[in-house]
Amino acid sequence: MWLVSGQSNMVITMQAPQTTVLQEKIGAASNGKIRLFQLPNASSDVPLKDTSGLWRPAVSPKAVQSMPAIGYLFGERIQTELTIPVGIVVAATPSTVIQNWIPADVLRANPLSRRFVLQYESARARLSAGSARAGGSRIPAGAPDSPWNPSASFNSKILPLAPFAFKGVLWYQGEGNVEDSEIYPSLLNDLVDSWREVFQRADLPFIVAELAPYQRPASSVKDSARARFGEGLHAFAARKSKVWVVTLVDAGSRDDIHPARKEIPADRFARMALAKVYQLKIDAEGPRYVGIEIRSGDVMVKFDSAAAHLAIRSTDSAGVMSDADRAVGFELAGEDQVFHPADAEITGINVVTVRSSKVMNPVAVRYAWRDYPECNLVGANQIPVAPFRTDDWPMKAF
């Protein structure tokens, strides 16, 4: 049994995107060994012990069309590979921030999240006619039992599930915290630890999704908050036991924060679960950047050998067929810290050589470092290279 949690991309149904892939999946649905339970869209300012709902078997197109797409498609892949019954529990709430999913006492104990709770409590103390305003704060004050209150989703959607023996957790959240890349890893650590305590399993696996690309209309920096957010996720997973990150750099939509191709995150989640949790011999990760070497203006970017045989993806970032024959998405900068688009070619099974006529003495490389990047570098398994950078420079405005 798997717990599927996060924001709205985790609750969008099979029928909502109206894509050919999902419609075909709906039409073929007839597997009673896949069952899904979705918690009601309720929240609470106090811890709850119980919830309501029904287990739904995936026995027909009618049953499946209203199921959350990522949860169902993930369950289908796991059931097909392992030929065992699979239960999917969906506990997700649209538009929430991670602070809604962490216990109140844990939020108070962390200096990075304490302000969130104190501002809310101050607003509640001034409640009049059941509403409040947290002046000047990005944090929604919320009415009683609002899903955007501190810990409201944890209280109503996580605690009532204890002590279910989940095989693991799929976590896809962050649109509400995309500007919080510096503190998000600490908050995610609190979430992982607190949920492991609730479910009485210190090694409960977590598979976390990057944010899919999306071009924010009001973007005001020549940088990427989304890329920095993903950078924090990968750094956190590298130091936290039984936590893995799946890249979605090829699964976004320029104009829609809810991209339609839900089969991509579902497949990445399933691959990672099969490889890391069930220990099957499945390629689950794309090539990972490991270092650079600079020679006479050329930068050799090296990737790990685990996902060798770098290749060029045959589709662009929107999933449309592309005739690109070289890697795109690379940028170089010199000591002035100004990045310029760069030419890149695969020069070894795990090496890309990058150069730019505008940067004679490069010191830093970035790849796919945009909110909606055009990039096409993948491994032999067609899983893309995640956005990365070799510098640690702060975000700069135009």
Report pLDDT digits (tens) over 373-398: 999 999 999 999 999 999 999 886 53
Report pLDDT digits (tens) over 231-243: 999 999 999 999 9
pLDDT tier for residue 211 given thresholds of 50, 70 and 90? very high
pLDDT recorded at residue 129: 43
d(CA 354, CA 297): 9
d(CA 239, CA 242): 9
What kind of fold does domain 2-277 have according to CATH? Rossmann fold (3.40.50)
Report pLDDT digits (tens) over 312-350: 988 766 667 676 778 999 999 999 999 999 999 999 999
Cβ count within 10 A of residue 115: 12
CA angle 208, 288, 305 (to 5 degrees): 130
pTM score: 0.92
Report pLDDT digits (tens) over 55-66: 999 999 999 999
**CA distance to 14, 68, 105, per residue, from 31 (Å):** 15, 16, 42
Task: Report the chain's mean pLDDT, rounded to a whole number.
Answer: 91
pLDDT recorded at residue 332: 98
Report pLDDT digits (tens) over 170-195: 999 999 999 999 999 999 999 999 99
Q: Sheet holding 351-355: strands in order across?
A: 289-295, 298-303, 351-355, 343-348
Q: Where in the chain is the domain with CATH 3.40.50.1110?
A: 2-277
pLDDT recorded at residue 29: 97
Report pLDDT digits (tens) over 125-146: 665 444 444 444 444 445 566 7
